[in-house]
Structure 1
Amino acid sequence: MINKKILMLFLLISAEPCYSQSAFREGQGMWLMFFNRTQLTEKWSIHSEIQDRAYDLSHKNEQLLIRAGMNYHLKKNLWLTGGYGYIESYSLAGDQLPTVSEHRVWQQGLYYHNLGRLFIEHRGRLEQRFVGDNYRDRVRYRLMINIPLNKSSMQANTVFISTYNEIFYHLEKNPYDRNRFYTAVGYQFNKAVNLQTGWLAQDFNGKTKGYLQLALFANLFLDGS
């Protein structure tokens, strides 16, 4: 079992040196993110998020992403989701109006499990993207690991490390779209709220750029759980 843990951590963390040097050459962007899951019943919950993405630390607009979906909990550790996203992208010149608007329909599956103190999430996502006048299909896979540092599990008052790698492919002749590697430190205040700050390296169009990230996760439990 310990060998599996070491291998999984190595596969994720070893990606970082491949990105870090080239990412800093491209400058640093910033993502501010808010995520919410509202639990309606034992089987149903609503996902919502907003992400404000900037080209640089002065917060020059790069992209605004708003996404929502409905989760169906097949099991405690297996969820299916369908939803919609709206994305505005802005030019590097700093124009106030978006240069491209995208409407996105998406479906995903989430599977959670743990190996000792490693809390692992597998996420597969399909996207139907209406980008301006174009249509594109995309598939994504993300492997994420959360590691509590001062507790044995992800519970109230837990300091943790979060890391993931996600790869994107279009269903086209040249399928590769991008890859993201993320690492962060977070604090789980209680069952509903955690805050994370970290760094993401995104490989896209032959270049890798780094983004500082701040993410707030704040959930609601209307089912009384």
Structure 2
Amino acid sequence: MKHIKFLGLAMALALYSLPTFSQNIVNNEIGGWIMVFNRIRFHDKWSMHNEVQDRFYDVAGRGEQLLIRTGFNYHYSDKLWLTAGYGYIENYPTTDAGGRKVVEHRIWQQGLYFHALGRVALEHRGRLEQRFVGDRYRNRIRYRLLATLPLNKVRMQPKTVFLAAYNEIFFHFEDQPYDRNRLYGAIGYQFTTSTHLQAGYMAQNFANVTKGYLQLMLTSNLYLLGK
């Protein structure tokens, strides 16, 4: 029964997202994201999250956004992690003429819940954000459902080729609630227990326009506890 409920939630999210992606799809400009993630486990119950993301308007490398985010994870259990942290974001204008860089300071809290359906590993992420964007303040909530499927192994382990997919939806508490939706698919390789690489494609719907982004993501974690 639990499996049926989770599958129903995933299908509902996908169906909810389809109308947004049918509006004004942008086909002539593909953006790019390069991302590096790191988690430092220094205690049975605590770890530190770090990430840097460089985002581009197009494959020529015209800068769109630089995001630096850090935080501390509390490992309540193997299946539930709680996090609080800070993010620094620089948003660049779409053109060189008449625009200016906008800096955002972001405080965020999240919960991560992990479980599996057969060979598929599922991750539920709910996140709250308090955003100081230039001279504006906004509150945002977001939810992501991520699925990971190992292809050449039964479970994720070193030397595993895998597929990953997620859908994430964002809402503001103020004025117009809907902010954006992201739909993502990728193929990846798990080099070691702590390091993997993903290459994928994300379609983001924002302001009634859907735009595609090529993504490259490296995750390399550090475990400081004794074996």
Alignment TM-score, normalising by the size of structure 2: 0.90
Question: CA distance change for structure 1 residues 21 and 193 in 2, over 3 Å: closer, same or farther?
Answer: farther
**Structure 2 residue aligned with 1:121:** 123
Match of 1:148 among 147, 150, 153: 150
Determine the C-alpha separation between the residues in 2 that align with 1:172 and 1:209: 24
CA distance in 2, matches of 1:26, 1:155: 38
Cα deviation for residue 25 of structure 1 reads: 2.0
Q: Hey, what's the Cα distance between the residues in 2 that align with 1:9 and 1:174?
A: 24
Aligned residues: 223
Aligned to 2:45: 43
In the alignment, the residues of structure 1 paired with residue 105 and residue 198 of structure 2 have an alpha-carbon distance, to the nearest angstrom, of 28
| Counterpart position of 2:95 | 93
Q: Name the structure 1 match of 2:61.
A: 59
Shift of the 178–190 alpha-carbon distance from structure 1 to 2, 3 Å rule, reads same
Q: What is the deviation of 1:77? A: 1.2
**Residues of 1 paired with 2:128 and 2:20: CA distance?**
27
Cα distance change of structure 1 residues 214 and 21 upon mapping to structure 2, 3 Å threshold: farther
Percent pairwise identity: 55
**For the residues of structure 2 that align with 1:160 and 1:17, how far apart are their CA atoms?**
29
CA displacement, residues 120-169 of structure 1 (integer Å, 9 cap, x when unaligned): 00000000000000100000000000001110111111111000000000
Query: Is the Cα contact below 8 Å between 2:24 and 2:208 reproduced in 1?
Result: no
The 8 Å contact of residues 23 and 208 in structure 2, kept in 1 or not, is answered as no
Q: Residue 6 of structure 1: CA displacement? A: 6.9
Equivalent position to 1:161, from 160, 163, 168:
163
Deviation at 1:224, TM superposition (A): 2.7
Contact between 1:90 and 1:99, CA under 8 Å: does it hold in 2? Answer: yes
- TM-score scaled by length of structure 1: 0.91
Q: C-alpha separation between the residues in 2 aligned to 1:63 and 1:80?
A: 26
Verify the 8 A CA contact 1:26 1:210 in the aligned structure 2: no
Q: Is the 8 A contact 1:23 1:201 kept in 2?
A: no
Secondary structure of 2:175 counterpart: coil
Give 1:9 shift.
Answer: 7.0
Give 1:55's aligned amino acid: Y
CA apart distance, 1:173: 2.8
Contact 2:10 2:145 in 1 (8 A): no
| Cα 1:20/1:48, change in 2 over 3 Å | farther
Gaps in structure 2 of 5+ consecutive residues? none
Q: Which residue is equivalent to 1:188?
A: 190
